[in-house]
């Protein structure tokens, strides 16, 4: 298998706490997407909600994907003040979260 050149994926699976209003979740999603405007190493952002029919989501309802060109860029993103501020607001609304970074292979 060969590594895809110049790509690092940052995946976040989120289970929001019961009672978090949909408007607050929407604000977090907009704020996450807005990081593209503040962090040069972040090249793209996508998100979605679980639509699987297998019922294996374990309560995780939202997935967020950010793309970076390098592992160093991903590391700079994690430490960037805009990301830290975003995470500080997001994390108290989450019951569970999984974060996985990977380099795609083909």
| Catalytic hit among 62, 77, 83, 102 | 77
pTM: 0.90
| Catalytic hit among 62, 80, 83, 102 | 80
Which pLDDT score is estimated for 6? 73
Is 71 part of any domain? yes
Helices (H), the chain: 22-34, 71-79, 81-90
Which pLDDT score is estimated for 106? 78
Q: pLDDT higher for 45 or 2?
A: 45
Torsion, Cα 12 13 19 20, to 10 degrees, reads: 20
Q: Which domain holds residue 93?
A: 17-101
80 is catalytic: yes
10 is catalytic: no
State the DSSP H helix or E strand holding residue 13, giving kind and residue range, or none if neither: strand 8-16
What CATH number does the domain containing 83 carry? 3.30.70.100
Which pLDDT score is estimated for 2? 63
What are the tens digits of pLDDT across the range 18-50?
999 999 999 999 999 999 999 999 999 999 999
Compute the C-alpha angle 53/55/59, nearest 5°. Answer: 130
What are the tens digits of pLDDT across the range 63-81?
999 999 999 999 999 999 9
């Amino acid at each position: 298998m060969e590594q895809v050149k110049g790509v690092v994926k940052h995946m976040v699976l989120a289970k929001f706490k019961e009672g978090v209003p949909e408007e607050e979740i929407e604000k977090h999603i907009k704020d996450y997407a807005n990081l593209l405007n503040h962090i040069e190493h972040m090249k793209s952002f996508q998100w979605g909600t679980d639509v699987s029919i297998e019922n294996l989501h374990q309560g995780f309802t939202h997935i967020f994907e950010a793309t970076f060109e390098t592992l160093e860029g991903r590391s700079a993103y994690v430490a960037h003040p805009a990301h830290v501020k975003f995470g500080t607001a997001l994390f108290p609304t989450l019951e569970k979260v999984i974060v996985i970074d990977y380099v795609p292979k083909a």
